Amino acid sequence: IGFYGRSDSYRVATTQDKDDRSPKKKKGAKEKEMDDLKKEVPITEHKMSIEEVCRKYQTDIVQGLTNAKAAEYLIRDGPNALTPPPTTPEWIKFCRQLFGGFSVLLWTGAILCFLAYAIQAATEDDPAGDNLYLGIVLTAVVVITGCFSYFQEAKSSKIMESFKNMVPQQALVIREGEKVQINAEEVVGGDLVEVKGGDRIPADIRVVSAHGCKVDNSSLTGESEPQSRSPDCTHDNPLETRNLAFFSTNCVEGTARGIVICTGDRTVMGRIATLTSGLETGKTPIAKEIEHFIHIITGVAVFLGLTFFILAIILGYSWLEAVIFLIGIIVANVPEGLLATVTVCLTLTAKRMAKKNCLVKNLEAVETLGSTSTICSDKTGTLTQNRMTVAHMWFDNQIHEADTTEDQSGASFDKSSVTWLSLARVAALCNRAQFKAGQDQLPILKRDVAGDASESALLKCIELSCGAVRAMRDKNKKVAEIPFNSTNKYQLSVHETEDLNDNRYLLVMKGAPERILDRCSTILIQGKEQPMDEELKESFQNAYMELGGLGERVLGFCHVMMPEDQYPKGFAFDTDDVNFQTDNLCFVGLMSMIDPPRAAVPDAVGKCRSAGIKVIMVTGDHPITAKAIAKGVGIISEGNETVEDIAARLNIPVSQVNPRDAKACVIHGTDLKDLSQDQMDDILRNHTEIVFARTSPQQKLIIVEGCQRLGAIVAVTGDGVNDSPALKKADIGVAMGISGSDVSKQAADMILLDDNFASIVTGVEEGRLIFDNLKKSIAYTLTSNIPEITPFLLFIIVNIPLPLGTITILCIDLGTDMVPAISLAYEAAESDIMKRQPRNPFRDKLVNERLISIAYGQIGMIQALGGFFAYFVILAENGFLPTQLVGIRLNWDDRSVNDLEDSYGQQWTYEQRKIVEFTCHTAFFVSIVVVQWADVIVCKTRRNSVFQQGMRNKILIFGLFEETALAAFLSYCPGMDVALRMYPLKPSWWFCAFPYSFLIFVYDEVRKLLIRRNPGGWVERETYY
């Protein structure tokens, strides 16, 4: 509450405010504006008299604005609608995909290809088409992967479209004395508007008159209870005062008339929306990881490329040849298919999560939950059921617990007591709530109720335990009623009795317990009326305190059978001028209500904790309620105390308690505003269990920023508009699918379709799994880079015929490697990933030096040898023994040499030996496929043996067959010699790489065995990625 006090200094008149927002803004003004938005609401109208407000807007309290004036204001202020958040044009998104990541490198390659071809075309009559061909292929690769990523992204962002509600809002305004229904967009400041129950408030209005008007501010403040509105200013804070109603909140019941004071983006809601869309969100952790990885790979590619370019020049190759080498090295170094693989893996996980009620809007957010180290959760609706439920009752001098679970699986209490029947009768009769029609087949708890939250809770409780309330009400006809009002703090009604022979009237009353007690002289114990003595009063006090301490709202109930002599049948009860007995009643009992936690939440919070995730509750609700729920769901775990608890236990002042002793803390919004940044960091660092109560939207943002400052990856859950800035600022914002407001869904990255906090745990699990699996996938894909690069390097350095061509490299990267790499996304977890700490974003990288060491330095090298062996086998069996190959390149690649001698003295024409060379490319390619079989099996696990992990991943097995079939197809399909220059292999050549494939498997199994045998040993430190 107090935070708003700070806004004093920003409280400038709205007119002045408007000047600030003149359309011409300089640079930097935007930033200032953002700071401005982070501050509180500059509304003062609630403190003005109605006349002053009328004067300010030149309107009339009866006639409203004139049409001319309204038109003038409309032109001045613009329509009453929120400016939609700026969207990136589609073509920019497309270009980002087209030129992001490795694309730049591949574009360079493609351009070099075209350049080389242009040079050849200019200098030769009959240029070889190789470079042109390769350039086209590279361009196609970039464009196709770009399109693929673009469409994947477009698909996931399209999910949002379904949430947009395009029905235009209507508003009832009074202009020139006439009521007119206009489009809510045309409402202007100064308009006199009328709202009734069920309407959406069209703008921020200053209430001038109200009849039983209640508004639901939950989307703005998080308070779940409807609040009444009246013309009086009850609070300095515009959000707390009764005489303001806010844009896009709902009027629940009653009617009200008011003057519009703010429209569109200037409304409280508009400011939050603008703040939200203006927030810069950082990159997702996985995006940072991928960027880091791209930097490494690009660095290696550029370094190798330039080194060999210079080396080639020094070795006396021509510029053209050096450029062609450069292209080859770039193509070999860039894992062309990897980004598409990552996208597919993330998409698959997103789909899996959607099945578990986590809808992912932004693909990269899939992993974010996995690396989350702090969850800031809203209370209402996420942790709780967002439904008042009777939790406890006190009667017969005893507290009884009611069943609050969603499925009524909890314990029940003794319903046989006569007192309970009386209590139930009072609760049922003194109750205006009723079920909406046509829901008889629904379970009671699912039915919709017309009436306020407490009465609905009572209604459902009675309906559940005593049967049809309607029948009870029919039998006990209501003859008079005084509704609840804030001065009396009670509600009473007078009924006929069920017993037809009994002509007495029954008076039932409920209200604030202390008020009810004051009116009672007796108390019902075990069905018998006893006089209220001090002992019973104290016992009442204790029960009241205890239930209040649980954060529950307590109501007292009493009744009396009115004596027939004073109130005979047909007595005219006058409710305005109370002409009947309202004291000396008989106290029946207390009932207390709370919005109970969801059943699955305590378990989920426990799982989060064992997964090393800190759960912080951030709510707009009262500290006591917040703390009670926090204890109920385990956010404050059993045995942990706050500073206040310690103080109370030791009976010392709060100031004497060492704050370090308390692991838990509950922080009030009022205190939060006085905290410096250091104090804030201190709290976040030193308390493991934190509850923030009574927080404003801006404070939620500050909390999130505080956590992020400490290096945490923060997830925020929330449903209200007030949560949306925090949702946007968080590393991952999680909105509620059912209860969430559109603005919050807009700001979030993920939507929980069932509003259940427990679904987040699923998300965390999936996120961690995909991170692990992406590592495996990348390790697998990167490994084949070495057998792709080394042929080029040896070709340049020792002048052997080229062992592997650029086209075959592309066949590996974009063909055979794809499905196995993707299949690793389906790999099951190796151990319980929910039992370990969240990854440290500074230390635990997706791609680290150990992964590179394993993939490039070890497995990749074995693979390269496998490929080279196949290459030497083919050349040797065709007549070129290994010893003869070194240095042969110059003649080998000379078109005019058509009698090149092999080791047997045979003479080869250019074309003949080229066919052998291309057969070698094919064999090298096939060998890479063969060694990648072992690699994919090896990459399935990072620590366990394959024999422990099993081969249950069907997609992976499919991938093995698919890549083999594809390799066979590329080798044997007629026409491939022309299309890709790949030639059929003799069957025996398929087996060349088998020993190396086996070697990879054995080597890595031994490595993993050593890791398991010596945890923390040298092998683990150097090779566990």
Partner 1 sequence: MPSNKDDGGWKKFLWDSEKGELLGRTGGSWFKIIAFYIVFYGCLAGIFIGTIQALLLTVSNYKPTWQDRVAPPGLSHTPRSEKSEVFYNRNDPETYLPYTKALRNFLAKYGEELQRDQMKFEDCGVDPAEYKNRGDLESDIGIRKACRFSRSLMGPCSGTEDPDFGFKDGTPCLIVKLNRVVNFLPKPPSSNESIPEEAQPKVQPNVVPIYCTNKREEDAGKIGEIKYYGIGAGFPLQYYPYYGKLLHPHYLQPLVALQFTNLTMNTDLRIECKVFGDNIMYSDKDRYQGRFDVKFSITSL
CA dist 296 and 288 (Å) reads: 12
Residue 975 is given by DSSP the state: T
Q: How far apart are CA 671 and CA 695, in angstroms?
A: 10
- Closest distance between partner 1 and the C-beta of residue 116, in Å? 19
Parallel/antiparallel/unpaired status of strands 244-245 and 204-216: antiparallel
Report the sign of the C-alpha dihedral through residues 722, 724, 730, 734, in that order.
positive
Residues that bind partner 1 (CB under 8 A): 125-126, 711, 842, 857-858, 861-862, 865, 868-869, 872-873, 876-879, 881-882, 895-899, 901-913, 915-916, 919, 986, 995, 999, 1018, 1022
694: left (phi over 0), alpha (psi -120 to 50) or beta: left
Phi first, then psi: give them for residue 927, nearest 5 degrees.
-65, -40
Around Cβ 817, how many Cβ atoms within 10 Å? Answer: 28
What is the full DSSP assignment across 639-701?
T---HHHHHHHHT--GGGS-GGG-SEEEEEHHHHHH--HHHHHHHHHH-SEEEEES--HHHHH
Indicate the residue among 85 and 882 with the shorter CB distance to partner 1.
882
Instruction: Quote the least distance from Cβ 896 to partner 1, whole Å.
Output: 5
Helix axes 534-549, 623-633, angle to 10 degrees: 70
- Bridge partners (DSSP) of residue 667 are 692
Catalytic site includes residue 603: no
- Answer whether 695's CB lies under 8 Å from 376's CB: no
Token pair recorded at residue 697: 């939207």
SS3 content of the chain, % helix, strand, coil (to 5): 50, 15, 35
Q: Which two tokens stand for residue 73?
A: 């204001």
What are residue 393's DSSP bridge partners? 400, 591
Residues 563 and 560: their CA atoms lie apart, in Å, by: 9
Alpha-carbon dihedral sign for residues 18, 20, 24, 30: negative
Nearest distance, CB of residue 857 and partner 1, angstroms: 7
Q: Tell me if residue 1004 falls in helix, strand or coil.
A: helix
Q: Is residue 398 within 8 Å of 320, Cβ to Cβ?
A: no
Residues with Cβ within 8 Å of 912's Cβ and at least 6 positions away in sequence, in order, are none
For the chain, what is the total number of helices (H) and then of strands (E)? Answer: 40, 28
CA distances from 194 to 207, 215, 255, 573, 787 (A): 9, 13, 7, 34, 76
Cβ proximity of 818 and 337 under 8 Å: yes
Question: From the centroid of its chain, how far is CA 174?
Answer: 43
Comparing C-alpha atoms, which of 788, 783, 782, 780 is closest to residue 924?
Answer: 788
Q: Provide the 3-class DSSP secondary structure of residue 65.
A: strand
Cα gap 764→610, rounded to integer Å: 12
| Strand, coil or helix: 212 | strand
Q: How far apart are the first and last CA of the chain?
A: 50
943 and 1010 in contact (C-beta within 8 Å)? no
Looking at the Cβ atoms of 566 and 907, the one nearer to partner 1 is 907
Tokens coding 1021:
């430190």
Say which of 204, 378, 772, 813 is annotated catalytic. Answer: 378
- Least Cα distance to 680 among 161, 998, 903, 690 occurs for 690
Q: What is the 3-state secondary structure (H, E, C) of 429-458?
A: HCCCCEECCCCCCCCHHHCCEECCHHHHHH
Nearer to partner 1, 904 or 972 (CB): 904
- C-alpha distances out from residue 208 to 60, 186, 242, 675, Å: 11, 21, 11, 38
In the complex, minimum distance from the CB of residue 878 to partner 1, in angstroms, rounded to a whole number: 5
Tokens standing for residue 389 = 């439920």
- Comparing CB distances to partner 1, the nearer of 521 and 853 is 853
Q: DSSP readout, 839-864?
A: P-TTT--SS-HHHHIIIIIIIHHHHH
Residue 1016 C-beta: closest distance to partner 1, Å:
15
Contacts 24+ apart (CB under 8 A), 87-95: 90/154, 93/150, 93/153, 93/154, 94/146, 94/150
Enumerate the active-site residues.
378
